[in-house]
Structures are given as structure tokens and as C-alpha cells.
Structure 1
């Protein structure tokens, strides 16, 4: 009886310490700072080939540097530059080397590009992209800060802000060519977590839930919390193949997108109304913290998601 009581007390103490730690590192003020900056008018909607997206990349680089991330192997800085149609594009990527399983990679990602200046109304023409996908980039940066502070990742963690998702996923395609997909254990792609999901508070969905046991692992790690992950309810929208997880998933990686957006009724999607004022910061915070906790066994190397059947044998 005493042993059981001591075990319970130790478990409760661990959960309390975890909650205190994460609440201090991933605070509302920090999240607000990130998302307000990324979705500000100064970024001009973050369209590719513009000064606005360059400013966004510079901001993400500064956050990576402040957190203490290092560039990916083979890169001289955080920008992963490539060309399309003779013009430069760049992902922004950094990493935390693993302690014992350095060759095993876990990727956290989102896309930082958006639509730029579009036809709006008489007062506004900037598609700020607060939810799509400043919310996902905010989550990715906050997770980098948390795991760097935690300092217990046995696997190498990569954090990447993709460019040109809105133009055809060219950033994630380039990224996938720079590594061996067989080395990637899992990919947490985060897109549009700024509003409550159709499942209510403290809930998100995972695209391609049935394609690996990635979602089941995350759910297991959240047992005893208020948060739940669900299979994608929007199968007809084909979301699994519409975000930056798709390229690595096609190469066999358990690469999934986490979202809360009610895509079938979201009236702000791809409009000038996708601004910070429309977001639910508490929903963003809850989702980031849930991802942080649910990924722990994967980053520590005690859980390995099953692979997704390959759809292609080589890159484009």
C-alpha cells in the first residue's frame, strides 16, 4: 500500500513539475509576441519573393538564435536556400542534436509563407495569415524553446519553417531532398491551430491518422490530461496530401499534420480577415502544450511510429 501511495505521489509531483515548467517556458505572452509579429502588417502577408517574407525569415532566424538552435548539417546558417524559376526561396531550419540517437531525426514544422497582397476590401488588402500559418510557426518555435530547455532529447530534433507551401509545397520538397527519409522517425507538421476544433476545447485532429500509429502514441502520452487527439474529420478535403507533411509521407515517413481548423466552415481562410484578432490564444497554447507532452516518448527514443507505405521511390 505504501509503495503504491509513494508511486502515486511521485507521479503527481512529476506532472505538477512538468506543468509548472512548460507554463513558464511557453507563456501566453511569448506566444502572443510570436504570432503578432508574424501576422503583422509589416510582414505584408509573407508572399514568396517579397520583402515581407524576408522580414519574417529574419525574425524566425533571430528566435532560433535566441533559443540556441544550430544550423542543419551542411548549412552555414539557418536559411536553406534554393531557386525556383530563377528566383531565390528559403526555408528556415535549425536543430537540437540528439544525445545518443543522433542519426534518428524528429521534425517539427509549419509553413511561414502566405498569400501577400490580395483583393480585399476598401480598408484592407493584406492577407496576414495569422492562423494560416503563423499559428503553426508559433507552435514550432515555442516547441523548440521548450525542448531546448528540457535538454533530454535522445533523438535529433529539427525545426523548420517551410516556404512556398501555398505555391505547391516547394519548400518541403526541397527539404526532403536534403536528408535521408529513412532517418526521419516522425514529422509533426502544425497548421492552423488558432481556433477551437469541431471536437470542442482541448482537442485537435491528426491527418492520416490511420496510416501509422503516430496518433495512438500521442494519445497514449496524453492519458490523464484534458486534451485529446482525433482522426481527421475532413476526409473529403484530402488534407493529408495538402500540407507540408505530404512529401515525406510519400517517402514512408510517419509525417502527419496537426490542426484544429474547421476548414469546411472557416470564413477567414485565405482572406484578408485572417488576422490575430480572430484567433483564440488559449486554443493555441493548449495545443502547443499538448504536442509538447505527447511527443516526449518519441523525442526520447522510447516510441517509434510505424512507417507509412511508400508512394514514390525517388524525389521529383
Structure 2
């Protein structure tokens, strides 16, 4: 009887995922301490700090025994971006010179010269329109355009100008269409005189990515987090390093830990990709490049892990899933952890648009069940994007258990037993 009980109890433990003994808190702490240490200098893109973080992650993938992605010879997925900054600009509409603070360009062209209003499309963002939505819809049209924005949107317009007006990043130079956004009361355009000259700088970037080839070579599961952060900020009590422990050294640590965990389990059914994205904080360029290197129809799901270092509003050992309603990805995770002390919940902060604010969004727009897993209480988190986002602020038992929960939740997908439905591309902005 004792032997039978032992077998039953052991089966219960294994079934419900308590066999994640290989995921150790001290090892989780080692990785995140390294990534969020002061000598990483906040891991800002294009700095020595992020280069150091990249080298650390490459060495971890080598230690684990991952393989480079197909077609690569190292764990660096290198690519270039181009920084375009206005050097000279002048805008005149209806024979009236527009002041510099009332316009901005969105373009990958080194120069522009528009003098014929019939050669460009004209759009109007009226007083009662949603500027964010209008911006997205106009960008999707891929047209050379002048967009006249009602002055009622002045505050949001200023935010867009602050973000885009000082320059832009592009994956190429000279390609694509251009848009000029103007804060203007007019809804008529009879004459235009638009000139722009940009300086161009080539900027090298690299994701860190590895894989465990599975039995199904054309079915991929992606585990991701971003390893860049903000670098230096205004000093607080002598500390100016934005260490980014929770954002997103916690997610990056989870990616490394899960890679180690799954490599020790042997050859998986589906092929597993583990990727640490660069440049999330400045526009998600790492995930955008990554998404173009694979056939999205072959990506079964994406587990994007973003800020899991502190308990969620649902308590310790719990997290939420952004875009929960867009596929049954979250439902599968809930079912997989049923009966454990782990739990997954729908995103309680839908007004924050978190589904669109991390690296999952790029693949979701291509139809992939790509969701972010987080436990951050974003509405009250005073450490977010601050110099106080440090290792000491994290709850390591919770974080370790969340990595275990993701291991448990992902196992049915890894084993090829369940497949989440695709995201409806038409419903993703």
C-alpha cells in the first residue's frame, strides 16, 4: 500500500509541474544580479553596457548548449538600423510659414521636397477624432501624406512631436512613404512648400537568440524578453543608473532559465527559440527584425516575459496575460497550472494598452498567438523606469515561482498536445 501511495503521489507531483526542481532561486538570482548590476550601466541601446549584457547572455546560451538560429553561426542576430535627424526643414501651407513647433515628419528619406499638393494625400484629424488611432490608420495606408491635426489635440500632438520630431529610426533609408503632421486649424490645402534634409547614421544592433531543435522542425515556440533598458537618468541620492532589474532583466532571466530547463529535458516535440530582444525601449526594433526572419505561420505561440519580479495584484505566484481575449493561449496556461499554487489571469490594466507596449505586438500583428506575461502592478509601480528598479526591490521567491509556472504552463504546447488559435490580424491595431 505504501508503495502504491508513493507512486500516486509522485505522479501527482510530476503531472502538476512540481518537478521543476531544476529551476533554482539561487541560479535565478545569479543571472538577474548580473544583468542589473551597476557595471551594466543600465543596458541602454548603443552603449558599452548593452554590449556587456549581450556577451553575458551569449555565454549563458553557450553554457546551456543551445544552437544558433538556422542560418547563423553565433547567438548574435545582427542587423542595422538608421538614425535620421532633421538638419534643415521648412514648411509652408497655403502660403503661410508653419512654425517649427507645429509640425513633424515621419520618414525614412534622406531628403524631401514637395511643392505640388496634388502629388500628396491629405488627411484631417478633426476635433472629435482619436489622434492615436488616426495616426496608426494613416501609417498603414503607406502614402505620402500631409496630415492636418486640429489644435484641440495640441497636448497629444506635442507628445508625438517630442518622440518623433527630433528624428526617427528606420531599418532602411530611402524606402517607403513619408508623412508630415501639422497642427493646423485649416481643413483646406491649396498650396504647399515642404523641404526636409536629414542626416543619416548607421547603428548596429543585435538580438541574442538560440534554439533547441525539436522533432517538428517547422513548428516553433518562442520564449522572449528584452535585455535593453534606459541607461542613465537624473540622479536620485547620488544614483543615476537605471538598472532595469524588473524591466526587463526579470524577463530576460526567465528566458535563460527556461532555456536551461528545457535543454535538460532532452529533445522537445516542437522547436524552441529563446530570444533576448534589443531596442525594445526605443521602438521595439529587435522584435521587428526578428519577426521578419521566420515564417509567422510556423510560430505556434510566443511567451513574451515582461516584468515578473514582484507579486501581481492577484498575489504571489500569479501573473497576468496581455491580450488574453485574443486567443486561447491564456486559457491553455490556466488549464496547465490547475491544481498548483500558480495562477494566470487576464490583463487587469487594459486601459494601459500593455498588449501593444511590448515585443509580443509585432508577431501578434502577423497572426501569432503572441502574448506578454507580467506580474507588474503597473498602475501603482513607482519604480518603473526609475533608478530604483534594482535587484533589492524584487521578490525572488515569487519570481522563481513565476518561471516555474511558465515552465508548467508551456509544457503542453512544447509537447505538441495543444495549439492555441491564431490572433485575428484584422483586430490588431
Shift of 1:237: 0.2
| Matching residue of 2:85 | none
Name segments (4+ residues, structure 1) moved above 3 Å.
Answer: 8-11, 15-21
Q: Could you state the TM-score of these two structures normalised by the residue count of structure 2?
A: 0.69
TM-score by length of 1: 0.94
Q: Per the alignment, in what secondary structure is the counterpart of residue 66 of structure 1?
A: helix
Shift of the alpha carbon at 1:310?
1.4
- 1:215 and 1:209 map into 2 onto residues whose CA distance is 6
> C-alpha separation between the residues in 1 aligned to 2:267 and 2:418?
15
Of residues 207, 211, 220, the one that matches 1:91 is 207
Query: Whole-Å Cα distance in 1 between the matches of residues 8 and 281 of structure 2?
Result: 44
Match of 1:207 in 2: 322
Flag the structure with higher helix content: 1
- Corresponding residue of 1:124: 239
Aligned partner of residue 250 in structure 2, secondary structure: helix
Deviation at 1:58, TM superposition (A): 0.4
Matched, 1:22 2:20: yes
**Runs of 5+ unmatched residues, structure 1:** none
Counterpart check, 1:63 vs 2:60: yes
Instruction: State the SS of the aligned residue for 2:68.
Output: coil
Q: 1:120 offset after TM fit, Å? A: 2.4
Partner of 2:119: none
Query: 1:262-293 CA distances to partner (integer Å, 9 max, x unpaired)?
Result: 00000000000000010000110110000001
SS of equivalent residue, structure 2 residue 378? coil
* 1:52 equivalent in alignment to 2:49: yes
Measure, in 1, the Cα distance between the counterparts of 2:423 and 2:18: 36
**Shift in Å, 1:12:** 2.7
Specify the SS of the correspondent of 1:192.
coil
Q: 1:192 to 1:71 in 2, by over 3 A?
A: same
1:243 CA displacement:
0.2
Contact between 1:251 and 1:312, CA under 8 Å: does it hold in 2?
no
Q: Does 1:172 align with 2:287?
A: yes
**Structure 1 residue 223 displacement after superposition:** 1.3
- When structure 1 is superposed on structure 2, of 10-19 and 168-177 the one drifting more is 10-19
Task: Tell whether 2:352 aligns with 1:237.
Answer: yes
- 1:104 and 1:155 in contact (8 A); partners too: yes
2:333, 2:8 → 1: CA distance?
A: 19
Q: Highest Rg: 1 or 2?
A: 2
Q: Which moved more, 1:275-284 or 1:12-21?
A: 12-21
Residues 152 and 300, structure 1, Cα contact 8 Å, conserved in 2: no
1:26 Cα offset (Å): 1.2
Q: Deviations over 1:168-225 (max 9, x none)?
A: 0000000000000000000000000011100011211000001000011111111110
Q: Secondary structure at the match of 2:234?
A: coil
CA distance in 2: counterparts of 1:198 and 1:272, whole angstroms:
23
Map 1:101-250 → 2, pairs under 5 A:
101-250=216-365
Higher strand fraction: Structure 1 or Structure 2?
A: 2
Give the Å deviation of 1:312: 9.4
SS in 2 for 1:120: strand
Count of aligned residue pairs for this structure pair: 307
2-side partners of 1:106 and 1:235: how far apart? Answer: 25
Corresponding residue to 1:260 among 375, 379, 384 = 375
Residue 198 of structure 2 is matched in structure 1 by none
Contact 1:114 1:127 in 2 (8 A): yes
How far apart are residue 253 of structure 1 and its match? 0.2
CA distance in 2, matches of 1:216, 1:10: 29
- Residue 91 of structure 2 corresponds to none
Q: Distance in 2 between matches of 1:11 and 1:253?
A: 38
Aligned Cα root-mean-square deviation (Å): 1.8
Cα distance in 2, alignment partners of residues 113 and 131 from structure 1: 12
Could you tell me how far 1:121 is from its partner in structure 2? 1.9
Partners of 2:291 and 2:402 lie apart in 1 by 26
